[in-house]
Amino acid sequence: MATNITTKFGINTGLQISDTEDPQYGNIKLQSVSYLKQANSIVSDLFTETDSLLAAIPTSSCENDICEASFFYLVEQYNQLNGENRALIASEMGIGWICKDVNDYYLVRDKAYTRVIGEETFTGDSVNFIIFDHQEALKDGPYYVNGTSNSGSTSETSGYFYPLYLSETSAIAVEGATLAHQHTFTEFPGIIFYMPDNHTSHPGDEAAAIASSKNYATAQSYLIITSMIPDDYRLLCSSANSVLCTTREIIPQPINLEQNTVLGRKSDNIQSIDLHELGDLLGSQFIVTAMEDNISPLISSSSHFELTGTNSLIVCKSIQIEPRTSRPTAKLAGSLIFNHNSGYFEGYDGTKWRTLKWGDE
């Protein structure tokens, strides 16, 4: 499970991986934001790829067990009817993360807290994941619609219409076609279908429609995936050793505190800060100011203190060298000691120890 939880907003469509032989079985393969209309989203015109989960949530390799950031997800699957007939088939809310496998991205679900299937709702600390209904998604077609036309010469005509495409380009690309005409249906308000001009199935034979095309009302299996903030604030504490902060007004953000770190704000981000980052934040001036204000003895157990500046200088009223009864084994030219046995200062010249005589001797 990822260490940090992000509450940034993102939206995508997705397809359930339901093949048990697929290494990504159980995960949801992320699809383009542009397929929101095919997922029967009522906000399909409000978002673009800049609003995708990939733009908001850090990702990791699918080979790893941990991602840089997890998030609370909401997965929804709707039928293909519109207006008052539009209905939720299933939904699931939980916590997960995004991984990348070659050029594909997947939602990896760590834990589900709520799932809705039809009119049944299941909640708890951990509920079973939904394996959403999946069929091969035909991005543009061909489809058939068993419905009532509400446009053109076939207006108010009911029956099977096929082959239909969701883009004019795909309809014209059909063999033998040079142009395409539009169809709309009472059952799917707001959705424009395109039929190649070399086909005139208005309406056509049911068996032929089923044999050549997919039923638009059931063939689509795109899911709507959004990041979200759970209603229960306790879920925001799903990660142990975390605190709730705000980086944006009224938007809670869980921050995980790693071992031996402090909570701080760096580059406008509230985050876990380790010793090195703390040093960067405080800067050298902090040490200078602390030393200036300090009047207590500075005592350290370190056996080595070195000034590396080219013109290093120590200025003080006096220097006291602790007497020692034996000379150091690590002999370095320039070393100075006070020999307790002889009562004299001694200096090492690189070859031998020499006694420093007093001026009056």
Task: Write out pLDDT tens, residues 207-265.
Answer: 999 998 888 876 657 899 999 988 887 788 777 788 888 877 877 888 888 888 998 88
Q: Is the peptide bond before 252 cis (omega within 30 degrees of 0)?
A: no
Instruction: Band the pLDDT of 2: cuts 50, 70, 90.
Output: very low
The one-letter amino acid code at 31 reads Q
Instruction: Band the pLDDT of 66: cuts 50, 70, 90.
Output: low
Element (H, E) at 207: helix 206-212
Q: Is the dihedral of CA 320, 326, 327, 330 positive or negative?
A: negative
230 Cβ neighbours under 8 A, 6+ residues apart: 72, 93, 113, 236
pTM over 0.85: no
Q: Is the peptide bond before 58 cis (omega within 30 degrees of 0)?
A: no
pLDDT reported for residue 110: 87
Task: Write out pLDDT tens, residues 49-64.
Answer: 999 999 999 888 888 7
Q: In DSSP terms, which residues pair with 194 in a beta bridge?
A: 165, 182
pLDDT reported for residue 86: 87
Token reading at 312: 């290093």
Estimate to the nearest angstrom the gap between the alpha carbon of 356 and the chain centroid.
69
pLDDT greater than 80 at residue 278: yes
On whether the CB atoms of residues 94 and 112 are closer than 8 A, the answer is: yes
DSSP letter string, 261-319: -EEEEETTEEEEE-HHHHHHHHHHHHHHHHHHH--S------S-----STT-----S--
